[in-house]
Amino acid sequence: MSPAHNSSRDTRAATEPAAGYSPAQDELQDIHHRLDELRAMGILVAAAVDGDATPVGAMLSRNSFTHVVSATNDQEVLQALRSSLDFGARPIDMLLLDVAATQFDGHALCRAIRRQPAWRDMPIILIRQRSAWQEDMLPGSFAAGATDILFHPVQRVELIPRVISALLLKKERDICRQHESELETELAERKVMEARLQYLVSHDDLTGLFNRRRLELALEDVIANARARGQTAALLYVDLDQFKVINDLEGHAVGDRLLMSVANILRKHLGAHDILARISSDEYAVLIEDTSEAAAMKRAEALRIAIDEYRFRTEDRNYHVCASIGVALVLPHEDINASEALARSSQACFEAKTHGRNLVHLFNKDDVETNILRHAADWVPRIREALAQDRFCMFFQPVIELPGGRVVGYEALIRMRDNDGTLITPDRFIPVAERMGLIHDIDIWVVQYAIGVLARLPREQSDLTLNVNLSIHAFQDPALLPLVRDNLERNGVAADRITFEITETAAVASYDQTRNMINQLRELGCRFALDDFGTGFSSFNYLKQFPVDYLKIDGSFIRNLLNDPVDQRLVKSMIEVGRTLGKLVVAEFVESAEILALLEEYGVNRAQGHFIGEPLPEILPG
Ligand code: C2E
Ligand code: MG
Ligand code: MG
Q: Quote the CATH superfamily of domain 375-607.
A: EAL domain (3.20.20.450)
- One-character DSSP codes across 239-256: EESSHHHHHHHH-HHHHH
Residue 15 has pLDDT above 70, yes or no: no
Mean of the pLDDT values across residues 48-77? 86
* Cα–Cα distances in angstroms (integers) from residue 75 to residues 46, 80, 112, 113, in the given order: 11, 9, 11, 12
Q: 528 C-alpha vs ligand 3 centroid, how far in Å? A: 13
Of the listed ranges 4-8, 20-24, 389-393, the least confidently predicted one is: 4-8
CA 221 / ligand 2 centre spacing (Å): 32
- In the chain, pLDDT over 70 holds for what percent of residues? 91
Asked if the model's pLDDT at residue 5 lies above 50, the reply is: no
Give the per-residue pLDDT at 539.
58
Q: Which DSSP symbol is given to 40? A: T
Q: pLDDT by residue (tens digit) across 298-339?
A: 999 999 999 999 999 988 888 889 999 999 999 988 888 888
DSSP 8-state code for residue 281:
T
- Of 592, 523, 513, give the one whose Cα is nearest residue 559: 592
Residue 132, pLDDT > 70, answer: no
To the nearest 10 degrees (0 to 180), the angle between helices 365-388 and 439-456 is 40
Q: Which residues contact 529 (CB under 8 A, 6 or more apart)?
A: 467, 499, 500, 501, 502, 548, 549, 550, 551, 552, 586
Q: 228: burial class by Cβ within 10 Å (0-12, 13-18, 19+)? A: exposed
User: What is the b/e burial string over 563-593, where b = at least 16 CB atoms within 10 angstroms of the residue's CB?
Assistant: eeebbbbbbeebbebbeeeebbbbbbbbbee
Q: Which residue has the higher pLDDT, 562 or 373?
A: 562
pLDDT in tens, 482-535: 999 999 999 999 999 999 999 877 777 777 778 889 999 999 999 999 998 887
pLDDT of 17 higher than 70: no
SS3 622: coil
- Ligand number nearest to the C-alpha of 529: 2
Answer positive or negative: Cα dihedral of 299, 304, 310, 313.
positive
Mean pLDDT of 380-398: 94
Determine the residue of 410, 413, 558 to mutate for testing ligand 1's pocket, defined as the one with the most ligand atoms within 8 A of the Cβ atom. Answer: 413
Rounded to the nearest whole angstrom, what is the distance from the C-alpha of residue 608 to the centroid of ligand 1?
Answer: 11
Q: Give yes or no for residue 3 having a pLDDT over 60.
A: no
Q: Is the pLDDT of residue 77 over 80?
A: yes
Q: Which atom of ligand 1 is nearest to the CA of 503?
A: 34
Q: What pLDDT is stored for residue 369 in this prediction?
A: 66
Is it the case that residue 374 has pLDDT exceeding 80? no
Which ligand has its closest atom nearest to the C-alpha of 399?
Answer: 1
Q: Domains of the chain: which residue ranges?
A: 24-177, 212-365, 375-607
Which CATH number, 3.40.50.2300, 3.30.930.10, 1.10.600.10, 3.40.640.10, labels domain 24-177? 3.40.50.2300
Rounded (10°) angle between helices 25-39 and 7-15:
110
pLDDT at 7: 39
Q: Which residue has the higher pLDDT, 375 or 416?
A: 416
Indicate the Cα dihedral angle 531, 535, 541, 543, nearest 10°.
Answer: 0
Cβ < 5 A residues, ion ligand 3: 531-532
pLDDT of residue 11: 42
Could you tell me the distance, in angstroms and rounded to a whole number, from the CA of residue 472 to the centre of ligand 2?
12
* Nearest Cα to Cα of residue 482 among 452, 444, 453: 444
Longest CA span, the chain: 116
Q: What is the predicted pLDDT for the residue at 208?
A: 87
Statement: residue 19 has pLDDT above 70: no
Whether the pTM exceeds 0.85: the reply is: no
Measuring CA to CA, which residue among 410, 422, 419, 414 is closest to residue 454?
A: 410
The band of 10, judged by pLDDT with boundaries at 50, 70 and 90, is very low
Q: Which ligand is nearest to the CA of 554?
A: 3
Asked whether the predicted pLDDT for residue 620 surpasses 50, the reply is yes
- Residue 261, judged by CB atoms within 10 A of its CB (0-12, 13-18, 19+), counts as middle
Integer Cα distance of 201 and 573 in angstroms: 13
Q: Average pLDDT, stretch 87-116?
A: 85
- What atom in ligand 1 is closest to the CA of residue 425? 26
What value does the CA radius of gyration of the chain take, rounded to a whole number of Å? 39
Residue 107 DSSP code = H
Average pLDDT on 109-114 reads 91
Predicted pLDDT at 6 = 39
| Element (DSSP H or E) covering residue 333 | none
Residues 577-588 have pLDDT tens digits of: 888 888 999 999
Report CA dihedral (22, 23, 29, 32) to the nearest 10 degrees. -70
**Which range among 14-23, 284-293, 328-337, 393-402 shows the weakest confidence by mean pLDDT?**
14-23
Superfamily of domain 212-365: Reverse transcriptase/Diguanylate cyclase domain (3.30.70.270)
Give the ligand at the shortest distance from the Cα of 501: 2
- Of all residues in the chain, the percent with pLDDT exceeding 90 is 53
Instruction: Round to whole Å and give the CA distance between 324 and 304.
Output: 7
Secondary structure class of 189 (helix, strand, coil):
helix
Distance from the alpha carbon of residue 411 to the mean position of ligand 2, in angstroms: 7
Q: What is the pLDDT of residue 89?
A: 86
Q: How far is the CA of 475 from the centre of ligand 2 (A)?
A: 15
Minimum-distance ligand 1 atom for the alpha carbon of 588: 15
Of 88-92, 324-328, 397-401, 440-444, give the lowest mean pLDDT range.
88-92
- Specify the pLDDT at position 540: 62
Which one is predicted more confidently, 153 or 595? 595
Pocket of ligand 1 (CB under 6 A): 397, 413-414, 425-427, 430, 446, 469-471, 501, 531-532, 555, 588-589, 591, 609-610, 615
Assign 53 a pLDDT band (cuts: 50, 70, 90).
Answer: low
- Backbone φ and ψ for 26, nearest 5 degrees, come out as -70, -30
Give the residue among 361, 210, 334 at the shortest CA–CA distance from 274.
Answer: 210
Tens of pLDDT along 173-229?
A: 899 888 888 887 777 767 766 666 677 777 887 888 998 888 988 999 999 999 999
pLDDT tens figures, 447-487: 999 999 999 999 999 999 999 999 988 998 899 999 999 99
Ligand 2 centroid to 373 CA: how many Å? 28
Q: So what's the pLDDT on residue 579? A: 86
In the predicted model, what is the mean pLDDT of residues 246-265? 90
